[in-house]
């Protein structure tokens, strides 16, 4: 269980740092990126645990490492996709309102 808690904390930290660095963070909430990183890390951890990879000698580090590594691109891809789409929608609505 300590393993799971550490994975969640690392994923949340990755999501928060991605939110802090993103220039379009005004377009979405502060918890969107940490939540997406935590969700992806949790799903992968569950898959690895059900595959019994956490108790295989020589491979138990993968159940720690892979979810943490997956949290980084998931947080950034969420920021890229959601941020770009919401900023474009906000600009379009503002343009329509100003006409």
Per-residue pLDDT tens over the stretch 22-69: 888 888 889 999 999 999 999 999 999 998 877 778 778 888 899 999
Residue 52 burial by CB count (10 A; 0-12/13-18/19+): exposed, middle or buried? exposed
Q: What pLDDT score was predicted for residue 55? A: 76
pTM above 0.75?
yes
What is the C-alpha separation between 52 and 55, in angstroms, rounded? 6
Which residues contact residue 25 at a Cβ distance below 8 angstroms, ignoring those fewer than 6 apart? 19, 79, 83
Q: What crossing angle do the helices spanning 2-21 and 32-50 adopt, rounded to 10°?
A: 150
Q: How confident is the model at residue 7 (pLDDT cuts 50, 70, 90)?
A: very high
């Amino acid at each position: 269980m300590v393993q799971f808690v550490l994975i969640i904390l690392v994923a949340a930290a990755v999501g928060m740092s991605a939110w802090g660095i993103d220039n379009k963070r005004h377009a979405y909430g502060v918890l969107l990126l940490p939540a997406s990183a935590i969700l992806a890390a949790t799903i992968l951890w569950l898959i690895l645990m059900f595959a019994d990879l956490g108790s295989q000698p020589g491979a138990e580090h993968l159940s720690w490492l892979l979810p943490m590594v997956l949290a980084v691109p998931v947080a950034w891809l969420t920021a890229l996709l959601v941020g770009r789409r919401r900023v474009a929608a906000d600009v379009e609505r503002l343009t329509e309102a100003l006409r």
